[in-house]
Amino acid sequence: MEKVEVFPTVAWSAGPGCHGGCGQKLYVKDGQLIKIEGNEDHPFNQGRSCPRVLALTQYMYHPDRITQPLKRVGERGEGKFEPISWDEAYDICEQRMNAIKEEYGAEAVIFAQGTGRDIGGPISFLTYSFGSPNWVQLGLSGQSCYTPRLGSMKAVMGDFAVTDCSQYSEKRYNDPEWKVPETILVWGQNPPNGCPDAFMGHWIVDCMKLGSKIISVDPCHTWITTRAAQHLQLRPGTGGALALGMLNVIINEDLYDKTFVENYTYGFEELKARVQEYPVDKVAAITDVPAQSIVAAARLYANSKPGALHWGVPVDMEPEATSVAHALICLWSITGNIDIPGGNVIARPAYGVTAYPWSTEELVKLYGKDLVTQLNKKRIGADTYPMVKNFRGWAHPDMCIDQIDTGEPYPIKGAWIQTANVLGGQAARARFHYDALKKLDFVVVVDLFHNPTTMALADVVLPAATFPEKNSFRAWWAPLQIIKKHVQVGECKTDWEINFEMAKRFNPEGLKQWDTVIDLFNERLAPSGHTFDDISEKGGWVMPGEGPFKPYNRHEKGYLRADGKAGFNTETGKVELYCKQFEEWGLDPLPRYVEPPQSPISTPELYEKYPLIMITGSRTQLFFHSEHRMIPWLREKEKDPFVEVHPETAKQFNVYDGEWVYLKNDMGRVKRKVKLTRRVKPGQIQTRHGWWLPELKGSEPELFGLWDYQINTIIPGPQCSSSGFGGGQYKTTLATIEKMTGGDS
């Protein structure tokens, strides 16, 4: 009998599903993972693990896991598949996709991904090797997840930024250069319940233990709000007004950092004029936050040296998401809390290594300007939205599904869907997506379990690997890390392996310089001076040393600009409070507020019919989007899809705790179990997204209960910001509660 071996690696998808980065220890016996626990020597998580990671053995060895390629043998939706070899699967994909390309052009195949997984590199590599311009987060209305914030940061300040919780230092909280933030303004997030992009939520808790005060902006009560010095319980969708109100207080009371504003910002006077349109009393009326609370929070944040701002996805789901993000960037900029210890630090990939293109600038570096110019000619949404055309290489998801439906201006005939349960997960107006995607001639789905998307759409299903089964690398801020394979389950392959093989088939001449995936990795890792094996020998991660890839005060050292001058990576060399890039794109160069498209104010007649503001997408440590509903340890903790209802609201609708009800609006209705709680305000309800029931029948019409439980069937769309990024109506849809009758319950 073999002994148990322990291997360090880094958690990313598939498996926990998350945004990844945590160091883990794999306990392997006889070639099988028997246990996993956090690596206490890893600087990212310092030994901590979430429930999804700890349940990984149940995930990897689940009896329903897909472990070999499958080919559909019945009609779409019948749920009839047969196993085939990898060679046959590759051949089918190559032949069918090339046939579409020959008749309609490469643009007639879209490449759709989900969120938060180790997929951006593999799928963009395959998309461009095939020649399609249409790489897309299909279904995510307005691309409303982080990209709106990224786009605003790139336009306004030339770089990205994150809250500084000492994550750029191997010494972490013991680094003498780091400072504990006096106050952290947590905007639209409950950090302990999740790990947003390249950030571990528990770092906020660590800072609280070290003395950081919290200002929480959240319509609901959460763990973080109960421990906050200030809780601004705003009406959903009104964050833009609140940010402008806080700017009004800080500017009019001279609480801003005058030295930083004078030396490193552009357009302060214009911003000062704009915020006069948002006096505190007006903002209080819009947001339902008392005026004195807005003033107190603004003063606390502005007087904190340093202060940090940590934000979440609700910012991206505001009606004008990029404008709301712009206002929040103005908050951390005029208070001088940018690029300093304990503030919001400039976030650049370690050593400049990128796994995939975060921006058009990165896309040009990876693939060249000529390719990007060519792709933009037919990339869906690029001609409509200048910001979409000029920031990031994604097609526009709302326009994409509309084009699949109409065939205009050119037909879409095929889809490669990878790490995305489109129908059961992110797709607003889910039934419309179902109807449109049914029209496609050929659909490949790469996943680990059958779900509503594989059952309804797939012609071929390719089995993907979890992170203990894969070689990959993680280049997302710091540290630079590799993921190393230590086990094998069935015939599963990694997303990189699958896409590398298909890319070589579609473009053998262009990719002949790489014999293996590791060769490709080593080329991407080259700027670090390390190879895949080098980093493995160093324990799996390396932290950048002094220089342009490590905080702090890089704007003073000339590290942010190509010309080496002090300042920021913008046209003016300053943080553009008045954004010239936005102006060039035909957008408002200053932050502004827009009322949600459905609300008591904008649609009073609809509100009379559906008098509840429905907030969806609340986070849990148990599930990642639509994943993990089949994992026993996790499902045991949250068996049913519930809706949080205030006792006063329950009395109004005559429903009780534990009762099954319908949530209903003009788009339809879905089932939920009532959970009475004071976490939500009267007149508002909150529920999770991504619910489908793996224990139910997978074939049509049931599709694992999709139409009964998927909340996104009653989320409207498209509701897109004027920039093209943000505005998905996932937090502000109007609905009502309807009691079940007869046998429904």
Residues 423-433 pLDDT 10s = 999 999 999 99
**Helix, strand, or coil (residue 684):** strand
Q: Looking at the domain assignment, is residue 131 inside a domain?
A: yes
Please check whether residues 233 and 173 belong to one and the same domain: yes
Spatial distance between the Cα atoms of 430 and 379, rounded to a whole number of angstroms? 23
Candidates 507, 508, 683; CA nearest to 599 is 683
Residues 122-156 pLDDT 10s = 999 999 999 999 999 999 999 999 999 999 999 99
Spatial distance between the Cα atoms of 539 and 8, rounded to a whole number of angstroms? 7
Q: Looking at the domain assignment, is residue 97 inside a domain?
A: yes
What is the DSSP-derived secondary structure letter of residue 3? P
Across the chain, which distance is largest between two alpha carbons, in Å?
75
pLDDT confidence of residue 743: 64
pLDDT confidence of residue 7: 96
Spatial distance between the Cα atoms of 388 and 394, rounded to a whole number of angstroms? 7
Please check whether residues 460 and 344 belong to one and the same domain: no
pLDDT confidence of residue 654: 98
Q: Looking at the domain assignment, is residue 9 inside a domain?
A: no
Please, where are the H alpha helices in 119-173? 120-130, 147-157
Q: Sorting pLDDT into bands at 50, 70 and 90, what band is 745?
A: low
The structure tokens listed for 254 are 């001279």
Q: Looking at the domain assignment, is residue 37 inside a domain?
A: no
Please check whether residues 320 and 435 belong to one and the same domain: no
Spatial distance between the Cα atoms of 222 and 242, rounded to a whole number of angstroms? 19
Question: DSSP strand E in 67-125: where?
Answer: 70-72, 81-83, 109-113
Please check whether residues 275 and 368 belong to one and the same domain: no
Write the CATH number for 728: 2.40.40.20
Using left for φ > 0, alpha for ψ between -120 and 50, and beta otherwise, residue 540 falls in left
Share above pLDDT 70 across residues of the chain, in percent, rounded to a whole number = 99
- Asked whether residue 725 carries a pLDDT value surpassing 80, the answer given is yes
Spatial distance between the Cα atoms of 84 and 94, rounded to a whole number of angstroms? 15
Residues 342-386 pLDDT 10s = 999 999 999 999 888 777 777 787 778 887 888 889 999 999 999
Find the mean pLDDT for residues 442-453.
Answer: 98
More confident residue, 242 or 362: 242
How many CA atoms lie less than 13 Å away from 138 in the CB half-sphere? 29
Contact between 133 and 375 (Cβ < 8 Å): yes
Query: Residue 560 carries which side chain, given as an amino acid letter?
Result: L
pLDDT confidence of residue 117: 79
Domain boundary among 552, 584, 616: 584
Find the mean pLDDT for residues 290-314.
Answer: 98
User: Between vectors from CA 59 to CA 702 and to CA 497, what angle results, nearest 5°?
Assistant: 95
The whole-chain average pLDDT of the chain stands at 96
Spatial distance between the Cα atoms of 184 and 304, rounded to a whole number of angstroms? 9
Spatial distance between the Cα atoms of 387 and 370, rounded to a whole number of angstroms? 19
Query: Residue 728 carries which side chain, given as an amino acid letter?
Result: G
Please check whether residues 170 and 120 belong to one and the same domain: no
Q: Sorting pLDDT into bands at 50, 70 and 90, what band is 1?
A: low
The domain total for the chain is 3
How many CA atoms lie less than 13 Å away from 156 in the CB half-sphere? 34
Please check whether residues 445 and 504 belong to one and the same domain: yes
Please check whether residues 119 and 194 belong to one and the same domain: no
Q: pTM score > 0.95 for this model? A: yes
pLDDT confidence of residue 357: 77
Residue in this structure with the two tokens 């009371």, named with its chain if needed:
253
Residues 316-326 pLDDT 10s = 999 999 999 99
Mark 137-172 as b/e (b = at least 16 C-beta within 10 Å). bbbbbbbbbbbbbbbbbbbbbbbbbbbbbbbbbeeb
Write the CATH number for 165: 3.40.228.10
Contacts of 292 (CB under 8 A, 6+ apart): none
**Helix, strand, or coil (residue 448):** coil
Dihedral of CA atoms 683, 688, 689, 692 in degrees, nearest 10, equals: -120
Please check whether residues 185 and 109 belong to one and the same domain: no
Spatial distance between the Cα atoms of 40 and 172, rounded to a whole number of angstroms? 13
Q: Give helix 517-525 / helix 495-506 axis angle, nearest 10°.
A: 100
The structure tokens listed for 342 are 């304990």
Contact between 724 and 384 (Cβ < 8 Å): yes
Residues 57-83 pLDDT 10s = 999 999 999 999 999 999 999 999 999
Write out the residue range of the structural domain in which residue 702 sits. Answer: 604-739
CA distances for 31 relative to 2, 319, 413, 469, angstroms? 9, 50, 42, 11
Please check whether residues 110 and 251 belong to one and the same domain: no
Spatial distance between the Cα atoms of 192 and 390, rounded to a whole number of angstroms? 35
Pair type for strands 23-29 and 5-10: antiparallel
Candidates 236, 218, 190; CA nearest to 293 is 218
Within 10 Å of residue 83's Cβ, how many Cβ atoms?
A: 15
Contact between 350 and 544 (Cβ < 8 Å): yes
Mark 501-532 as b/e (b = at least 16 C-beta within 10 Å). bbbbbbeeeebeeeeebbebbbebbebbebbb
CA 471 to chain centre: 23
Please check whether residues 519 and 397 belong to one and the same domain: yes
Domain boundary among 584, 618, 648: 584
Q: Looking at the domain assignment, is residue 52 inside a domain?
A: no
Candidates 48, 22, 37, 56; CA nearest to 634 is 56
- Asked whether residue 263 carries a pLDDT value surpassing 90, the answer given is yes
Mark 711-731 as b/e (b = at least 16 C-beta within 10 Å). bbbbbbbbbbbbbbbbbbbbb
What is the DSSP-derived secondary structure letter of residue 440? -
Q: Looking at the domain assignment, is residue 504 inside a domain?
A: yes
Residue in this structure with the two tokens 């936005």, named with its chain if needed:
582
Q: Sorting pLDDT into bands at 50, 70 and 90, what band is 490?
A: very high
CA distances for 565 relative to 196, 257, 463, 492, angstroms? 33, 22, 50, 50
pLDDT confidence of residue 365: 77
Q: Looking at the domain assignment, is residue 8 inside a domain?
A: no
Spatial distance between the Cα atoms of 327 and 591, rounded to a whole number of angstroms? 5
CA 142 to chain centre: 12
Please check whether residues 538 and 569 belong to one and the same domain: no
Q: Sorting pLDDT into bands at 50, 70 and 90, what band is 491?
A: very high
The structure tokens listed for 159 are 């770089």
How many CA atoms lie less than 13 Å away from 29 in the CB half-sphere? 9
Q: Looking at the domain assignment, is residue 579 inside a domain?
A: yes
Contact between 387 and 142 (Cβ < 8 Å): no
Spatial distance between the Cα atoms of 717 and 436, rounded to a whole number of angstroms? 14
What are 213's strand-pairing partners?
183
Please check whether residues 635 and 721 belong to one and the same domain: yes
**Helix, strand, or coil (residue 161):** strand
CA 665 to chain centre: 27
Spatial distance between the Cα atoms of 257 and 553, rounded to a whole number of angstroms? 15
Complete DSSP assignment for 329-396: HHHHHHTT-BSSTTSEEEE--GGG--SS-SSHHHHHHHH-HHHHHHHHTT-TTTTT-HHHHHS-SBPP
Helices and strands (H and E) in the chain: how many: 27, 27
CA distances for 591 relative to 243, 267, 330, 454, 600, angstroms? 9, 12, 9, 42, 23
Write the CATH number for 426: 3.40.50.740
Candidates 244, 238, 251, 342; CA nearest to 302 is 251
